[in-house]
Amino acid sequence: MASVPTRIDGPVAVIGDVHGQTDKLREIIRQLASVPKINQRWIVFIGDLVDRGPDPAGTVQLYCDLAKQHGKVTWLCGNHELAMACSLGLIKTPDFVDFSGRWLDHYDSHTTFQSYGVKHRDMEGLRAALPEEHIRLLSDLPWGIEHSDYLFVHAGLDRNLPFETQVRILRERDYSLSHPPWLYSKDFILTGPPADSPVTVVMGHVPIPKVTFGNGLIATDTTGGVGGDLSCVLLPENIVLTSGAQQSQTPQSGRRVPAAAGPPARKSWWKPW
């Protein structure tokens, strides 16, 4: 059983790849606090909370704090979480899969080590520095989150494989795969999901200038962890919140509109500032 919920329903707020940009995530959460009936809305993190940005440890802890307060929060495994967890031995993988070489040399993992107060490449030190709650989460994140109208998966679906086949694979999570395409492929954003997909696929992973809607996809990664504003999409409204402005955009018209209005959120809803 995954460490977070894998089947959800009702309205959703999906947050793109955070990559340790804790301040930008705080701004998104601040805006979500004013969304009407936020207590009834699921918050989905599309993956890649760690690496690249300045504060991966703070981002993971922010997720944990939000999950305790809000309850309806879940987190997809991205390729960066998979590489980190497998490198640290939190997930058992075959010897022939070199996750640690990939993570240490190519994933900007130094920011993750720094944020936990550990020297880069000190695997034992990082493993010891991780809070137990972070270990529990990273050890068992899901590859897909299912909803009656959406499938959330970090890098999207393969157009050339049946939808149900891929969903079964996502549920099983085969850790003998060196580069599971649902977490790694850069091509799925171009081709779109399989023709038999009964739902819209929501993904991150591939950095884009702004959230895109169409071809059976919603793509949400607008920073790549190296610049730009973090984005959050309210579903089913298709309203986009960004960390750079207290405004949102509807894909139908492209015009800027105020963020969802309404009475102030209940005091019990989590506020990080």
Whether residue 135 lies inside any domain: the answer is yes
CATH of the domain at 82: 3.60.21.10
Low-confidence ranges of the chain (pLDDT < 50): 247-267, 272-273
Q: What is the pLDDT of residue 3?
A: 87
Q: Is residue 196 part of a domain?
A: no
Give dist(CA 149, CA 233) in Å, integer: 14
Whole-angstrom Cα distance, residue 44 to residue 232?
Answer: 9
Residue 47 lies in a domain: yes
Which residues lie below 8 Å from residue 90, measured CB to CB, with a gap of 6+?
Answer: 127, 135, 138, 139
Nearest Cα neighbor of 45 from 31, 57, 62 is 62
pLDDT score of 256: 37
Q: How many domains does the chain divide into?
A: 1
Tell whether 178 is covered by a domain. Answer: no
Residue 223 inside a domain? The answer is yes
User: What percent of the chain has pLDDT above 90?
Assistant: 87
Q: For residue 42, give its domain range.
A: 12-145+218-258
- H or E element in which residue 241 lies: strand 239-242
Domain-embedded: residue 187: no
How confident is the model at residue 268, as a pLDDT?
A: 53
Nearest to 73 by CA among 25, 20, 24: 25
With respect to residue 107, please indicate whether it lies within any of the assigned structural domains.
yes
231, β-bridge pairs: 242
So what's the pLDDT on residue 212? Answer: 98
The pLDDT value given to residue 270: 58
Q: For residue 237, tell me if it sits in a domain.
A: yes
